[in-house]
Structure 1
Amino acid sequence: MGRWRMLRQVVRRRRRWLESHSRRNMHIYTIRKLDIYRRRHSLLFSQWIE
């Protein structure tokens, strides 16, 4: 009984860590996506000015 409770606690902790980890990865991915979009937009803008 005690061992099962410990296992459940470990699983819960691991799930929480995975959630925070994936959230951080999504944040990095969003920043990268915005950076690519901004770069592409500035390229289009500079071509339009010329």
Structure 2
Amino acid sequence: MGKQVVAVVNFPPRRIAGFKSEVLVIGGVPTEGDVVLLKPDERVENGTPIA
């Protein structure tokens, strides 16, 4: 809690692994290791459009 990540929230709902998903969280995939979630360098208002 208290952290921000970059996500797309205006996609139509989809079923993923049997669960309804309405959000696509954006992350980078390094050659080794786990996915790294993208986050803003500075705090922004939740819902701020990204470009």
Higher relative contact order (CA 8 A, sep 6+): 2
Same-fold status (TM-score > 0.5): no
TM-score, with normalisation over the residues of structure 1? Answer: 0.16
TM-score, with normalisation over the residues of structure 2? Answer: 0.15
Structure showing the higher helix proportion among its residues? 1
Structure showing the higher strand proportion among its residues? 2
